[in-house]
Chains A and B, each alone.
Chain A
Amino acid sequence: MDQTRHQDRLIARATFGERPGDREQIRRVGAEAWLETALASLPRGDASLESRLARFPALAYGPADWLDAADLPDPATTGAERRPEALARLRGHSVRIAVQVAGARVVRAVHGSQGLREVMVDFWANHFSVDARKGIVGGLLPHYQREVLDRHALGRFEDLLLAVAKSPAMLFYLDNWSSTAAAGGPGGNDSEQRGRRPRTRGINENYARELMELHTLGIDGGYTQDDVISVARALTGWSLESRRSPVHRFHARLHDTGPKRVLGEPLTGEGEVEGENLLRRLARHPVTARHVSRKLVQRFVADTPPPALVEKAAARFVETEGDIPSVLRTILLAPELSDPKHRKLKTPLRLFASALRVSGGSTDGSEDALRTLARMGELPFFARTPAGFPETSERWIDPGAVLERMKLAFALARGVVPGARLGDEGLADAAVRGGGAPDGLLTTAVTLAAPEFQWC
Chain B
Amino acid sequence: MVLTRRRLLQLGGVSVAALASTPIWLAPRRAKAASLARSPLLVTIFLRGGADGLHLVPPIGDAEYARARGPLALAKSLPFADGFGLHPALAPLQPLVERGELAAVHAVGSDDRSRSHFEAQDRMELGDPGRSEGGTGWLARAMAGALGADAFAAVALSNALPLSLYGSGAFAIGDPARFGLEGAAEAARAALESRYAAAVDDPIARAGLRALGALAEYERRVGGAAADEPPRGGLPRERARRRREDPPLVERVRQLLALEQSGLPIRAVALECHGWDTHQRQGLETGAMSRPLQDLASSLAALSEGLRGRRDWLAVVMTEFGRTVRPNGSQGTDHGHGSAALLAGPRVTPGVHGPWPGLAETALHEGRDLAVATDYRHVLFEALATHLGATPPPQTFPAFEAKPLGILG
Number of A residues with CB within 8 Å of any CB on chain B: 75
**Are B211 and A416 closer than 8 Å at their CB atoms?**
no
B309 at the interface (CB under 8 A from A): no
Cα–Cα, bound, A411→B181 (Å): 9
Are A175 and B188 touching (Cβ within 8 A)?
A: no
Stretch from A67-75, A144-152, A398-406 that touches the partner: A398-406
Are B174's CB and A400's CB within 8 A? yes
A384, A390, A446, A454: the one within 8 Å of B48 (CB): A384
Q: Does B238 contact A (CB under 8 A)?
A: yes
B127-166: CB near A (< 8 Å → 1, else 0) gives 0000001100000000000000001000010011100011
B373 within 8 A of A: no
Q: A219's contact among B118, B134, B199, by CB below 8 Å, is which? A: B118
Contact (Cβ within 8 A) A96 B235: yes
Can you list, as one digit per residue, whether each of A443-456 has a CB less than 8 Å from chain B (1) or not (0)? 00110011110110
Most interface-central of B114, B187, B188, B332 (chain A CB within 10 A): B188
B260 interface residue per 8 A CB criterion: no
Report the bound CA distance from A216 to B48 in whole Å. Answer: 23
As a 0/1 sequence over residues 353 to 384 of chain A, the CB contacts with chain B under 8 angstroms (1 = contact) are 00000000000001110010011110100001
Quick one: which of A199, A204, A304, A399 contacts B207, CB cutoff 8 A? A399
Closest to B234 in A: A367
A-B contact count (CB 8 A): 202
- Most B-side CB within 10 Å, residue of A99, A379, A390, A397: A397
Task: Flag whether B389 is at the interface (Cβ < 8 A).
Answer: no
Q: In the complex, are the beta carbons of A451 and B170 less than 8 A apart? A: no
Instruction: Kindly state whether residue A209 has any CB partner on chain B within 8 Å.
Output: yes
Task: Check: B172 CB closer than 8 A to any chain A CB.
Answer: yes
Answer whether residue B310 sits at the interface, using C-beta atoms and an 8 A cutoff: no
User: B38 near A: Cβ within 8 Å?
Assistant: no
CB distance from B109 to the nearest CB of A (A): 16
Specify which chain A residues have a CB less than 8 angstroms from the CB of B205 in the assembled complex: 451
Q: Is the CB of B203 within 8 A of A393?
A: yes
Residue B33 interfacial (CB < 8 Å): no
Q: Report the separation of the CA atoms of residues A233 and B291 in the bound assembly, to the nearest whole angstrom.
A: 30
Q: Which of B61-69, B81-89, B322-330 contacts A (4 or more CB under 8 A)?
A: B322-330
Q: Which residues in A have some Cβ–Cβ distance to B below 8 Å? A: 91-92, 95-96, 99, 174-175, 178-180, 182, 198-206, 209, 213, 219, 225, 228, 236, 304, 345, 366-368, 371, 374-377, 379, 384-385, 387, 390, 392-407, 410-411, 414, 416, 418-419, 435, 437-438, 442, 445-446, 449-452, 454-455
Q: Could you give 7 example pairs across A and B, Cβ below 8 Å?
A: A199-B331, A204-B334, A367-B241, A394-B134, A394-B203, A399-B211, A400-B174
Sample of 6 further A-B pairs with CB below 8 A, known A178-B280, A407-B181: A92-B238, A96-B235, A202-B327, A399-B211, A402-B208, A402-B211
By a beta-carbon cutoff of 8 Å, the part of chain B in contact with chain A is: 48, 71, 114-119, 133-134, 151, 156, 159-161, 165-166, 169-175, 178-184, 187-188, 191-192, 195-196, 198-199, 202-205, 207-208, 210-211, 214-215, 228, 230-232, 235-238, 241, 244-246, 274, 277, 279-280, 327-332, 334-335, 366
